[in-house]
A and B are shown apart, each in its own frame.
Chain A
Amino acid sequence: MSKSIFNSFYQYLIEQYEAFQANLQGTLPWPDALLKHKQQAFELFKKQGFPSTKQEDWKYTNLAGPLQQIFHLSAGNETADLQTALKAASIKDVQACRIVLLNGRLQRAYSDPLPEGVHFLEGAEALHHYYAEEYFASLADPTGIPLVALNTAFVPAFNLLHIQKTTDRPLHIMHFYASHQASFLPERLLLVTEEQVQTQIIDTFHQLTTEPILINYVVEQYLKEQVAMDIFLINALQPNATFFHHSETYLHSQSTYHHLNFSFPGADFIRNNINARLQGSASEANLWGLYVGGGHQLVDNHTIVDHQQPGCNSNEWYKGILQDKSTGVFNGKIFVEKGAQKTNAFQKNNAILLSREATVHAKPQLEIFADDVKCSHGSTVGQMNEEALFYLRTRGLSELTARQLLIEAFAFDILSKIPHKAVAHHVMELLRQHLHLESSIPIDA
């Protein structure tokens, strides 16, 4: 078996590239410096194709299934009436500044006015910004990461979020998707936060149509010195969505980054690469995740915490709840590079299987090249604690209530990391909606 997949979708993309580029040069010409990255990324993709399960990072995540059909390149100029959808997708009681995107493009008419010192640039403005030349495709290097190569080659444009001042309310980036045929929707964000800025960003994803879509969302983030940034990624997409997300974050000294990653049953296929590079001393990255699988869903979270400098901290905790025939994959890499002394790096992942047909593959991976470090990792896979269940029932709680309580308690470790009460409440509601405990069977039964 080959290390790559060269299927009909691959062939389609290779054949379409020239016409796609010609069209792009006619409508939104990219500056040469960036175009070069695009060309290189295309060559990489052409050579490497899609990764097969022969590649270590894709061992349990087989793309042959989700990519067996053609996802058409989209013209990228779809319009839709978002009024109703916007209301439904807003999070209750969160006074957020909403930035509304449709297939990755800003919908100014539906978006809230940005706070002072926050700039959301698109099209030519983003392409010609000084940060574009500096960071585009250099933070998220396409080499060796097939889905970043794919995105870099085929993304028609990217957005640039430039945060110069501390924001007093979260920015809520609402990603809407619409298509009238099976579509490939690459989307990209470059986010730069200036020194001493404190900010919080909520990312949510919503489908307006039921045609199959392949979302390929790449985020490059650069946090300058003493920045504090929280990201809340909430993925409650519907069936027929395949979601590839790659997030690459560089932290400068004394910066703090919290990434909270929540996903729920719905999207058929989710692959998240969440990477944090501690490039400045005394910086801190915390990656928290809760994934709830259902149906035939596959949820794959690959994370990297890369300690490059001394005195940095990282904490990571991913928890999974797998129902039905769902599959979870967790791979957490911690690198402590030579010279990154006084590193504290901790990682935990726990998964609970609620059905006999659910699966989880978990792999912690520590590579430590410094000697004065504190690192630990722990991984557990279990099922509903029958002893606890019995205990609760002997106090009068119904089996269903007891199961619900235990699952919520399991999720609590991650939910409690959300500093916004209303956001935490929203995520808890999603959790309740997507649990169907009455059908869960204890494995030993």
Chain B
Amino acid sequence: MLQIKNLQASVNGEPILKGVDLEVKAGEIHAIMGPNGSGKSTLASVLAGNELYEVTGGEAWFEGKNLLEMPPEIRAREGLFMAFQYPVEIPGVSNINFLKTALAEIRAHRGLPPLSAKEFMQRLKEKQELVEFNASLVNRSLNEGFSGGEKKRNEILQLAMLEPKLAILDETDSGLDIDALRIVANGVNKLRAKDNAFIIITHYQRLLQYIIPDYVHVLYDGRIIKSGTKELAYELEEKGYDWIKESLQASFS
């Protein structure tokens, strides 16, 4: 589904990603862990198409298409979704109209007619329950005045509504209390299927107790320096990132 080869990117001329390789297949959940400043969020932003990040080398292919050539909206319509670490508050844009517009654009791209008002509302109700999202929030302006947890749940609600092939969760667990974390994780677990995939970017192993990844990768200084299964996450939690750094240095000396 996604092939990343030697991906390099910089912000304001400063290199952040220094050659990332990653392959994600349908049905898989990949966790990307790493200390602060290792390039985790940059990777998510580059994949979503944020123009503040300049791709300086490498490739990214999504379902056989060159991802890096697509503007962000085409990536979304092709089935890529990013749940933001800091979802933007947009006063005056109603959550519900926004979802309707987004869904209609994505469906049109796939040659599907927009859902009828009734179908839309039915789907919304279903997905709201999935993330235990208060109905009154749906009628408010997009993320305006939402708590941190409500914003993150709204991201998962959008994910559920838009049904992407590949979802990237950028530090969705940050700032969540244990209840919100459980709700978000339950939502993702119910949405995972054999034809979709997830990349979960996180600093902590905490979320991975609820969402069990197939693979865990450690990103450090703009490169994936270690990959493994879920046990790697436990090891990291136990030994800390310094363990990785030390073992890295040891291998060079």
Contact = CB atoms under 8 A, between A and B. Distances in A.
Interface in B44-100: 48-51, 71-73, 75-77, 81-82, 84, 87-88, 90-93, 98
B109 A396 contact: yes
B162 interface: yes
Contact of B93 (A394, A396, A399, A406): A406
B72 A410 contact: no
Nearest to B97: A405
A396 B105 contact: yes
A391 B73 contact: no
A409 B91 contact: yes
Interface residues of B, number: 29
Nearest to B89: A388
Contact of A397 (B48, B73, B84): B73
B101 interface: yes
A390 B91 CA distance: 15
B18 to A, nearest CB: 24
B75 A399 contact: no
Interface string A386-430: 011011111111110110011011111100000000000000000
Contacts of A387: 88
Interface string A372-396: 0000000000000101101111111
Given A390-B50, A401-B101, A401-B105, A396 B92 contact: no
B51 to A, nearest CB: 8
B88 A399 contact: no
Contacts of B105: 396-398, 401
Contact of A393 (B72, B87, B106, B109): B72
Contact of A395 (B91, B141, B158): B158
Contacts of A385: 88, 90
A35 to B, nearest CB: 51
Given A399-B73, A401-B101, A401-B105, A394 B92 contact: no
A396 B73 contact: yes
B102 A397 contact: yes
A21 to B, nearest CB: 52
Contact of A391 (B71, B75, B88): B88
Contacts of B75: 394
A17 B132 CA distance: 75
Nearest to A387: B88
B92 A391 contact: no
A402 B88 CA distance: 13
A406 B101 CA distance: 13
Contacts of B103: 396
A390 B72 contact: yes
A421 to B, nearest CB: 16
Nearest to B81: A394
B82 A394 contact: yes
A388 B109 contact: no
Contacts of A405: 93, 98, 101
Nearest to B87: A391
Q: Interface range on chain A: under 10, 10 to 19, 20 to 34, or 35 or more? A: 20 to 34
A396 B90 contact: no
Interface in A334-386: 385
A261 B204 CA distance: 53
B92 A408 contact: yes
Contacts of B162: 395-396
B50 A396 contact: no
Interface in A263-284: none
A83 B84 CA distance: 56
Nearest to B80: A394
B48 to A, nearest CB: 5
A393 B76 contact: yes
A437 to B, nearest CB: 15
Contacts of B101: 397, 401, 405
Nearest to A445: B51
B77 A396 contact: yes
Interface string A23-50: 0000000000000000000000000000
Nearest to B48: A394
Contacts of B88: 385, 387-388, 391
Q: A395, A410, A411 — which one has the most chain B CB atoms within 10 A of its CB?
A: A395
Contacts of A392: 90, 93, 98, 102
B38 to A, nearest CB: 22
B90 A388 contact: yes
B22 to A, nearest CB: 20
A391 B93 contact: no
Contacts of A412: 91-92
Contacts of A409: 90-93, 141
B229 to A, nearest CB: 30
Contacts of A397: 73, 101-102, 105
Contacts of A402: 73
A398 B49 CA distance: 13
A408 B142 CA distance: 14
A319 to B, nearest CB: 11
A392 B72 CA distance: 9
B127 to A, nearest CB: 15
A396 B87 contact: no
Given A398-B105, A405-B93, 19 more contacts: A385-B88, A388-B90, A390-B50, A390-B51, A391-B84, A392-B98, A393-B49, A394-B75, A395-B98, A395-B102, A395-B158, A395-B162, A396-B73, A396-B103, A396-B106, A398-B73, A399-B71, A406-B93, A412-B91
3 closest A-B pairs (Cβ-Cβ)?
A409-B92, A412-B92, A396-B76
12 contacts: A387-B88, A391-B84, A391-B88, A392-B98, A394-B75, A394-B84, A395-B158, A396-B105, A401-B105, A402-B73, A405-B101, A409-B93
Interface of B: 48-51, 71-73, 75-77, 81-82, 84, 87-88, 90-93, 98, 101-103, 105-106, 109, 141, 158, 162
